[in-house]
């Protein structure tokens, strides 16, 4: 398996028929912008999902407290 890998690597490195693609400098900005949008969308989705789950969890927790007063100060 290793021999095949190195033979393939040597063929790719020394084969003159292969054309390597050029990535212009503006592509990096597009990639970083895409990561920013993905992180922002994930934060919004998690924010909308976590708030109701926390509300349900805390309401269930309040139901199971036996005789303890809760402090509702803000």
The 10s digit of each residue's pLDDT in 1-58 is 778 888 888 877 777 665 667 777 788 888 889 999 999 999 998 888 888 888 888 8
| 3-state SS, residue 32 | helix
Q: Which residue has the tokens 């890998």?
A: 5
Asked if the structure places residue 54 within a domain, the reply is yes
pLDDT, position 38: 93
How many domains would you assign to the chain? 1
Asked if the structure places residue 45 within a domain, the reply is yes
Q: What share of the chain has pLDDT > 70, as a percent?
A: 77
Predicted confidence (pLDDT) at residue 71 exceeds the cutoff of 60: no
Q: What's CA 32's distance to the chain center, in Å? A: 13
Asked if the structure places residue 15 within a domain, the reply is no
Q: Which domain holds residue 52?
A: 26-63
Band of residue 63 on the pLDDT scale cut at 50, 70, 90:
confident
Asked if the structure places residue 44 within a domain, the reply is yes
Does this model's pTM top 0.75? My answer is no
């Amino acid at each position: 398996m290793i021999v095949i890998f190195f033979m393939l690597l040597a063929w790719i490195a020394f084969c003159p028929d292969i054309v390597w693609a050029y990535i212009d400098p503006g592509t990096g900005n597009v990639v970083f912008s895409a990561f920013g949008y993905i992180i922002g969308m994930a934060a919004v989705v998690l924010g909308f999902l976590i708030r109701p789950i926390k509300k349900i969890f805390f309401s269930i927790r309040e139901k199971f407290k036996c005789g303890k007063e809760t402090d509702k100060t803000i």
